[in-house]
Amino acid sequence: MKRFLAFDVGDKTIGVAVSDALGLTAQGVETIRRKSWDKDFSRIKELMKLYETDAFIIGLPKNMNGTQGERCDIVRDFAERLQKKCKGSSVVFWDERLSTVAAERSLIAADVSRAKRRKVIDKMAAVFILQGYLDNIGMRVGAVSEEK
């Protein structure tokens, strides 16, 4: 199975997570501090090579009522630029509503200080985005396997 890189795209940072080789679990990788398009994509290319993947799961920040606003346009622009820089890559958008809230709650439950939470929240949000995607495709694969 191929690995996936997941992104929680913000104006100042990009949270990054990666799947394991079996596509079962998501692990946090890092938070990229955004500097410029070229530097952002250069780091992403390094991660692609390190984790041997060309498949991306990108959190799509829909509104709570399911509509797509300005933030979705910004994320879609990021994805288009990413695909141009990383030719042959594939992108899947994943509904990221409440991923940051879930990450925050998880960190609070783990008694992580407010200062440390700020440093890792975007990476953790990417983990929640990717794990949601992996769980979804795992359920579909499991359903197909059970039918046989």
Write down the pLDDT at residue 139: 65
**Is the pLDDT reported for residue 144 higher than 80?**
no
pLDDT of residue 141: 53
Task: Strand 13-19: give its sheet, edge to edge.
Answer: 26-33, 13-19, 5-9, 55-60, 90-95
- Is residue 1 over pLDDT 50? yes
Q: Mind listing the pLDDT tens digit for each residue in 52-108?
A: 998 999 999 887 888 888 999 999 999 999 999 998 899 999 988 767 767 777 777
Q: What is the largest CA-CA distance in the chain?
A: 50
- Reply yes or no on whether the pLDDT at 2 is more than 80: yes
We report the CATH number of the domain holding residue 27 as: 3.30.420.140
**Stated pTM of the model:** 0.83
- What pLDDT shows up at residue 143? 44
Residue 24 has pLDDT above 50, yes or no: yes
What are the DSSP calls for 21-88, one per residue? TTSS-EEEEEEEEP--HHHHHHHHHHHHHHHT--EEEEEE---TTS---HHHHHHHHHHHHHHHHSTT
Please work out, in degrees rounded to the nearest 5, the angle formed at the alpha carbon of residue 85 by the alpha carbons of 61 and 92: 35
Confidence of residue 145 (pLDDT cuts 50, 70, 90): very low
pLDDT over threshold 80, residue 114: no
Q: Give the count of domains, the chain.
A: 1
**pLDDT interval class at 115 (50, 70, 90):** confident
Q: Which domain holds residue 62?
A: 5-147
DSSP 8-state assignment for residue 139? H
